[in-house]
Structure formats: structure tokens, C-alpha cells
Amino acid sequence: MRRREWLVGVALTLLLWILATCVGCRESPPVDTSLLTGEPCEPPCWQGLTPGVSTHEEVNEFVRTSGFVNPQTLYPGRLSRGGQRVGVSLQWRSIAGRGRGHNSFTIEDGVLKYIIIYPDYDLTLESLIDRHGAPGKFLVIIAGSGLPYLSVTLFYPTHGFTATVELPIDDAQLLPESIVSRVWYFQAAPLDRFIELGCEVGFLGSTPEKWLESLRDWKGYGTIEVP
């Protein structure tokens, strides 16, 4: 009898140990690193969706079936321009939930226009440049409604994306370890056409001429001039 009780006690102890250790054995949520790996597709494609090509139905199917999208955070909205409704937007956070903001798809006339992704990992400027080369141009603006900061946007027009780095105004240095906070996927085009298309869909809120005047040439890492 005592031996049976002893065996039962050992079995219960083993079971509790297995349950305790398996709490940390759950699969980690997927993290999108396609900008650096090219898998499953290269920019401007993101996870099989391509601005200017993918349809509203394909976006909805992705949102419904993707392991990246946290469905509890999905928020549909209207896209308006000039007081007229021209499309819809779908905002969402990833399952990993480590990005700095809400990702989004913007659809107009039944076609995906652009994608905004906040990386769930430390995407460094060095790793971006190693993979895609130096940016064609970059833009610096002062942003932030509370504590202001510098928003530095690197333009990769022929790749179909821009990447934004946020810097403190009092230490405006672009360094290899600077972290990319946001990536905007759009239609690949030469720089002037890339900007024209961005203005047409309302993502770039100014005239193409104004944007082109404001862009700076890439001169490498280091201190940048505050506008």
C-alpha cells in the first residue's frame, strides 16, 4: 500500500513538473523579418500582398487567416479625401505586439494602395542598408505633439518603401545601431513618380514639388542638421 502511495506521489510530482516547465514552452508568436530576408517576397510586396496589385478581397483573406494579425485589435475605418469617401483602412497590431504603433492596410477603388508596418524586432539602420543599400534620399522633420523629436525618413523608391527612424533633437545622429520604427510599402517607381503617387493617395500630405525640395542627399552615418 505504501509503495502504491509512493508511486502515485512520484507520478503527481512528475506531472506537476512537466506542467510547470511547459508554461515557457509555448510557441513564440511569429515575427515578420521579410524586409531583411526577402521571404516570402521582396518589397514592395509584404507577406504576399503588393500595393497597386492586391485586391480588397485578398487583404481581407490575409487578415482572416494570417498568423501575424491579432484579430482582437483589428479596426476598420473610412478613407476620405476632400470630404468624399474614397476607400477603407484596416488597422491592426501583430500577435507579437512589440511594434511601436498600429500596422495598417489602405484600400482604394478595391485595390491595396499602401501598407504601414511597425517592426516587432530591432531593425537597425545598418542591417537595412546592408540588405538594400544606401537610401536614394532622406527627409528630416520635427514631429511629436508633446515632446518633439526628429523623424528621419529614408526613401527607397525603386524598392517601393520608406523607412523611418526617430531621433532626439538634442542628439540627432544617424548611427548603424539606430532603430527603424516604421516601414511604408508603396508602389515601386522612380523618385519623382514615387512621390507623385504618394501625394495622390494622401500619404504624403504636400505637393510633389515641395517634397522634392525638402529631400536631402544621403552622406552616410553621423550628425544631421535639424531643420
pLDDT value for 5: 52
Q: Does the pLDDT of residue 108 top 90, yes or no? A: yes
Residue 143: inside a domain, yes or no? yes
Place of cell 474614397: 86
pLDDT of 86 reads: 78
For residue 2, pLDDT over 60 is answered with no
As a whole number, mean pLDDT of residues 71-87 equals 84
Burial of 105 (0-12, 13-18, 19+ CB in 10 A): buried
Write down the pTM of the prediction: 0.84
| Total of domains in the chain | 1
Task: Give 12's Cβ-side CA count (13 Å radius).
Answer: 6
Q: Rounded to 5 degrees, what are φ and ψ at 201? A: -90, 0
Instruction: Decide if 58 is inside a domain.
Output: yes
Structural domain contains residue 19: no
Distances (CA, A) of 66 to 94, 108, 163, 184: 10, 22, 23, 19
Residue 21 lies inside a defined structural domain of this protein:
no
Q: Please indicate, yes or no, if residue 13 is contained in any of the structural domains.
A: no
Q: Is residue 87 part of a domain?
A: yes
- Structural domain contains residue 9: no
- pLDDT at residue 16, as a whole number: 46
Indicate whether 26 pLDDT > 70. no
Contact 160, 188 (CB under 8 A): yes
At 6, the pLDDT band (50, 70, 90 cuts) reads: very low
Q: Looking at the domain assignment, is residue 7 inside a domain?
A: no
Q: Could you tell me the residue range of the domain that residue 43 belongs to?
A: 34-223
Degrees (nearest 5) of the Cα angle 143, 197, 73? 60
On the CB side of 109, CA atoms within 13 Å amount to 6
